[in-house]
Amino acid sequence: MRMNSRFSYLIIKIILVLAYGFVISSCSPKDSESVASKAASHVTIKNKGSDTIVNLAQAWAEMYTGVTSSVSVEVSGGGSGTGVAALINGTVDIANCSRQIKPKELEQAAQNTGKVPQEFIVGYDALAVYVHPDVPLDKITIPQLAEIYGENGTITQWRHLGIKHSSCPSDKIIRISRQSNSGTYFYFREALLGTDRDFRIGSLDLHGSKDVVEVIGRTPCAIGYSGMGYATSHVKMLEVATTADAPYYAPTLKNVLAKTYPIARPLYMYSLGEPTGAIKAYLDWILSAEGQKIVEKLGFVPLESN
Partner 1 sequence: MNILRKKSRANLPFSETAIELFIRLCGISSILFVFGIFFFVFREGAGFLFSGLDVKEFLTSVEWQPTSLNNKRYGAFALIVGTFSVTILAMCLAVPFGLGAAIFVSEFCSPKLRETFKIIIELLAAIPSVVWGFIGLTLMNQLIIVVFKAPIGLTMLNGGIMLALMSVPIIVSIAEDALKAVPDSYREAAEALGATRWQVVYRVLLPAAKNGLLAAVLLGAARSIGETMAVLMATGHSVNIPSGPLSWIRTLTATIAAELGEVARGDEHYQVLFIIGILLFTITFIVNLIADLVIKGIRQES
With binding defined as CB under 8 A, does residue 85 bind partner 1? yes
With binding defined as CB under 8 A, does residue 159 bind partner 1? no
* Residue of 47, 96, 184, 203 interacting with partner 1 (CB under 8 A): 203
Provide the H-helix boundaries in 42-93: 54-67, 80-89
With binding defined as CB under 8 A, does residue 9 bind partner 1? yes
- In this complex, which beta carbon is closest to partner 1, that of residue 60 or of residue 185? 185
Rounded to whole angstroms, the Cα distance separating 125 from 182 reads: 14
Nearest in space to 117 (alpha carbons), one of 144, 147, 91, 84: 84
- In this complex, which beta carbon is closest to partner 1, that of residue 191 or of residue 215? 215
Contact 249, 255 (CB under 8 A): yes
CB neighbour list of residue 242: distance below 8 Å, 6 or more residues apart: 141, 142, 262
| Binding segment (CB under 8 A) for partner 1, from list 28-36, 109-117, 217-225, 237-245 | 217-225
With binding defined as CB under 8 A, does residue 141 bind partner 1? no
Using CB atoms within 10 Å of the CB of residue 21, give its burial: 0 to 12 exposed, 13 to 18 middle, 19+ buried: exposed
- In this complex, which beta carbon is closest to partner 1, that of residue 156 or of residue 260? 156
* Half-sphere exposure (Cβ direction) of 298: Cα atoms closer than 13 Å: 20
Site size toward partner 1, by CB under 8 A: 42
* Residue of 185, 268, 270, 285 interacting with partner 1 (CB under 8 A): 185
Backbone angles phi, psi at 116, to 5 degrees: -90, 125
Residues engaged in binding partner 1 (CB under 8 A): 6, 9-10, 13, 17, 78-82, 85, 104-105, 168-170, 172, 174, 179-182, 185-186, 195-196, 198, 201-207, 211, 214-215, 218-222
